[in-house]
Amino acid sequence: MSATRPTLKLTHSGALQALDGALRKAEELGVPQNITVVDEGGNLLAYVRMDGAKLLSRETSMSKAITASSHRQPTSRLDPRNEIKLAIAGGGRLTNLEGGLPIIIDGHCVGAIGVGSGTGEQDVEVARAGLAAIGAEDQKP
Amino acid sequence: MSATRPTLKLTHSGALQALDGALRKAEELGVPQNITVVDEGGNLLAYVRMDGAKLLSRETSMSKAITASSHRQPTSRLDPRNEIKLAIAGGGRLTNLEGGLPIIIDGHCVGAIGVGSGTGEQDVEVARAGLAAIGAEDQKP
Amino acid sequence: MSATRPTLKLTHSGALQALDGALRKAEELGVPQNITVVDEGGNLLAYVRMDGAKLLSRETSMSKAITASSHRQPTSRLDPRNEIKLAIAGGGRLTNLEGGLPIIIDGHCVGAIGVGSGTGEQDVEVARAGLAAIGAEDQKP
Amino acid sequence: MSATRPTLKLTHSGALQALDGALRKAEELGVPQNITVVDEGGNLLAYVRMDGAKLLSRETSMSKAITASSHRQPTSRLDPRNEIKLAIAGGGRLTNLEGGLPIIIDGHCVGAIGVGSGTGEQDVEVARAGLAAIGAEDQKP
């Protein structure tokens, strides 16, 4: 068996474009946000906290991004019956809060975007705008 | 009274055989998994994350293994009425998520195996295959 | 600019082969070891602790692997003048202890191997055997 | 005495401009970097990790930014005789590694920029380009 397999990685240029697309949508909605982009290993690639965004939502935006990247699906799809158990046993980062979406390009999950400071619905809308900005697969929650 | 008592310890060779048995079952099921083997002290002995397994399920597989080793019983037997209180007071590692099984050989609990990334049922099936590979007592959840 | 770039990922099969190659060398030397393989994002892929290996060297083997993967070079090449400052400011994982080597295949750094419990020299020898087992570039410290 | 005093805060727009100025300089130098901008409270405002930058230098870039913001001076000015004691007693974030510069505008320290993955000299050069991009006071190390 081969020791390696080919895949794609999100570039910093792609991460910043996604960040910018999400930021413009948040401005359009008039909702300041924390916007986090991680790679497929859950490592931070790009981040911005908008003027007036909730400070602690930085961490929720990061947990959302890490979960969506880990599970390759929107955070909202995690089973609500186990949500607290998974959050604790998963080391604190595993969450089913709305607003985390995987970034899927050409069939590869190359990372995720997590948004936090608005309502769940607003967070998802801003995250989807980030995906659209780089031509990633749309993710309906 | 004697200051010591004889016991058994799981070898690294045994831990790797259990890992391999679990991995083969996961391949057979087509479900990529995180597979963790700990010793009777809850300390990591062997681990593998399969291609495509959920990244954060590393932590849940570890929590499952540590709990099963600590309590010398399948994780699923913990009382669900106290599950969140136990998870928090237990330092985050105590969980009743399915997929953690003790490794019992000749009446000694020598460690545990924890599996995470599939459904609860798949996680248990993979963990049981790990036990079977080293002739440990089967653990029906 | 493109949002993605092509790369390679280490498979779990490759990670287990590297682990096995390192383990055989450790057996040959008669030195029990902690052996850690991480991917290019510093996330755990495979691990084994051999019978008799030092328990806390699990963490040093992990720090070595994470550092070598992060910096794409042997841990021993970090500047010794800043070693303590880097260790602290880098969040505790950044180390120049010998025994961490990057896994470079076809010009891509796809992860790293970290070994801990022997002397620095033994740790490096065991790590190099892990690289050889999967045809990765040899890394002289 | 008044209960409040007027001050200035760095906007997210300013933080992103500083990030962009630093990024362009890093591209010009051909040195991939982690670039962190924090506000005057040491809280993350903007971040990017460039393709090929060292993963663990995320943490050093953050420590540099937090220190420069806290002390309102370049990190390199901290007394080297106490560097390790300060690093430990300061909770791990206090560092005199080169590459952290305060952002001073109209006499107010509104935050800091921290850069990590190159040599100390390169990190400083990239951080200064970030300051220049928003007309902040130049900081010679």
Q: What is the DSSP letter of C138?
A: P
In a domain, A3, yes or no: no
Q: D24: which 2 tokens?
A: 């362009």
The answer to whether residue A140 sits within a structural domain is no
Chain D residues near any Cβ of chain A (below 8 Å): 9, 11-13, 15-16, 23, 43-51, 55, 58
Task: Tell me how many degrees the CA angle A2-B37-A38 measures, rounded to the nearest 5.
Answer: 60
Three-state DSSP state, C45:
strand
Q: Are B47 and C47 in contact (CB < 8 Å)? A: yes
Query: Which chain D residues have any C-beta within 8 angstroms of a chain C C-beta?
Result: 51, 54-57, 59-60, 63-64, 83-84, 87-88, 92-93, 95-97
How close B38 comes to chain C (CA, Å)? Answer: 10
pLDDT tens track for D12-46: 999 999 999 999 999 999 999 999 999 999 999 99
Residue B63 in any domain: the answer is yes
Q: What is the pLDDT of residues D68-106, one digit of tens each?
A: 999 999 999 998 999 999 999 988 999 999 999 999 999
Confidence of residue A139 (pLDDT cuts 50, 70, 90): very high
Query: Could you give the 3-state DSSP secondary structure of residue C102?
Result: strand
pLDDT at B131 over 80: yes
What percent of chain C lies above the pLDDT cut of 90?
Answer: 91
C141 in a domain, yes or no? no
Mutation target to probe the B interface, by most B beta carbons within 10 A, among A72, A79, A85, A110 is: A85
Would you call C90 and D51 a contact, using CB atoms and an 8 Å cutoff?
A: no
Which chain C residue's Cα is nearest to A132? Answer: C3
Specify if B1 maps to a domain. no
C94: distance to nearest CA of chain D, Å?
7
The pLDDT of residue D59 is above 80: yes
Q: Do A136 and C3 touch (CB under 8 A)?
A: yes
Alpha-carbon distance values, B27 to B31, B54, B95, B135 (Å): 6, 15, 26, 20
Distance CA B21, CA D141 (A): 58
Q: What percent of chain B has pLDDT over 70?
A: 99
Closest CA to C68 of C89, C47, C38: C38
> Which residues, in sequence order, are bridge partners of residue D101?
D113
d(CA B86, CA B80): 10
pLDDT tier, A41 (very low <50, low <70, confident <90, very high otherwise): very high
Q: Does residue B79 or residue D49 have the better pLDDT?
A: D49
DSSP track, B33-75: -EEEEEETTS-EEEEEE-TT--TTHHHHHHHHHHHHHHHTS-G
CA distance C36 to C49: 9
The predicted pLDDT at position B140 comes to 79
Asked if the model's pLDDT at residue B141 lies above 80, the reply is no
Is the ipTM higher than 0.90? The answer is yes
**Shortest CA distance to A62 belongs to which of A97, A17, A16?**
A97
Please report how the helices A12-29 and A120-133 are oriented relative to each other, as an axis angle in degrees rounded to 10.
140
Supply the CATH number for residue D40's domain.
Answer: 3.30.450.150
The partner residue sitting opposite A3, judged by closest CB among C6, C10, C40, is C10
Report the C-alpha gap between B55 and B97 in whole angstroms.
Answer: 17
Q: Looking at the domain assignment, is residue C33 inside a domain?
A: yes
| Cα–Cα distances in angstroms (integers) from residue B119 to residues B26, B32, B129, D74, in the given order | 12, 11, 16, 52
Question: What does the pLDDT read at residue C1?
Answer: 66
Given strand D44-49, what is the order of strands in its sheet?
A100-105, A108-116, A34-39, A44-49, D44-49, D34-39, D108-116, D100-105
Interface contacts (A, B; CB < 8 Å): 53
Q: At a CB cut-off of 8 Å and minimum separation 6, what does A13 contact?
A: C1, C2, C3, D51
Least confident of B44-48, C42-46, C88-92, C105-109: C88-92
Task: Give yes or no for residue D140 having a pLDDT over 90.
Answer: no
Report the percentage of chain D scoring pLDDT > 90: 96
Nearest to D10 by CA among D42, D58, D50: D42
- Please tell me the predicted confidence (pLDDT) of residue D141: 65
Q: How many CB atoms lie within 10 A of CB C35?
A: 34
Residue D115: pLDDT band with limits 50, 70, 90: very high
**Nearest-CB residue to B51 (from C12, C23, C50):** C12
Contacts of C47 in chain B (CB under 8 A): 44, 46-48
Residues sharing a CB contact under 8 Å with residue B1, sequence separation 6 or more, in sequence order: none
Which of C121 and A79 is assigned the larger pLDDT? C121
Instruction: Please check the confidence at residue C62 and state whether its pLDDT lies above 70.
Output: yes
Mean pLDDT, range B91-97, rounded to an integer? 93
Q: Is the pLDDT of residue C9 over 70?
A: yes
Q: Select from A44, A55, A41, A63 the least CA-distant residue to A114.
A: A63
Q: Is the pLDDT of residue B74 over 80?
A: yes
Q: Which residue is closest to A13 within chain C, CA to CA? A: C3
Distance CA B62, CA B34 (A): 9
Residues C48 and C72: beta-carbon distance below 8 Å: no
Asked if pLDDT for residue A61 goes beyond 70, the answer is yes
Q: How deeply is B84 buried, as exposed, middle or buried, from its count of CB atoms within 10 A (0-12, 13-18, 19+)? A: middle
A90 φ/ψ angles, rounded to the nearest 5 degrees: -90, 10
- Residue A13 predicted with pLDDT over 80: yes
Query: Phi and psi dihedrals of A112, rounded to 5?
Result: -160, 165
Q: How far is residue A92's CA from residue B117's CA, in Å, rounded to a whole number?
A: 16
- Asked whether residue D1 is domain-assigned, the answer is no
Q: Where do runs of H (alpha helix) occur along C1-141? A: 12-29, 57-71, 83-89, 120-133
Measured CB to CB, residues of chain B less than 8 Å from chain C are: 9, 11-12, 15-16, 23, 43-51, 55, 58
Domain that holds residue B96: 12-133
Give the CA distances from residue C66 to residues A128, B43, B84, C97, D49, in Å, rounded to whole numbers and listed in that order.
Answer: 32, 20, 33, 12, 17
Of residues B106, B140, B98, B104, the one with CA closest to residue B122: B98
Torsion sign over Cα A12, A15, A19, A21: positive
Q: Does the residue D139 lie in any domain? A: no
Tell me: the pLDDT tens digits for C14-26? Answer: 999 999 999 999 9
Q: Evaluate if residue A140 carries a pLDDT over 90.
A: no
Domain count, chain D: 1
pLDDT above 90: residue A141: no
Q: Give a three-class secondary structure readout of chain A.
A: CCCEEEEEEECHHHHHHHHHHHHHHHHHHCCCCEEEEEECCCCEEEEEECCCCCCCHHHHHHHHHHHHHHHCCCHHHCCHHHHHHHHHHCCCCCCCCCCEEEEEECCEEEEEEEEECCCHHHHHHHHHHHHHHCCCCCCCC
What tokens were used for A67?
């979960």
A44 with D47: CB under 8 angstroms?
yes
Interface touch A12/D48, C-beta < 8 Å: yes
Average pLDDT of span B98-103: 98
C86 contacts in chain D (CB < 8 Å): 60, 97
What residue in D sits closest to C65 (Cα-Cα)? D56
Q: Are strands B100-105 and C34-39 parallel, antiparallel or unpaired?
A: unpaired
Nearest Cβ partner for A86 among B55, B60, B88: B60
Predicted pLDDT at C79? 86
State residue B57's pLDDT score: 96
Distance, CA of B53 to CA of A72 (rounded, Å): 10
Measured between beta carbons, the chain B residues lying within 8 angstroms of A94 are 56, 59-60
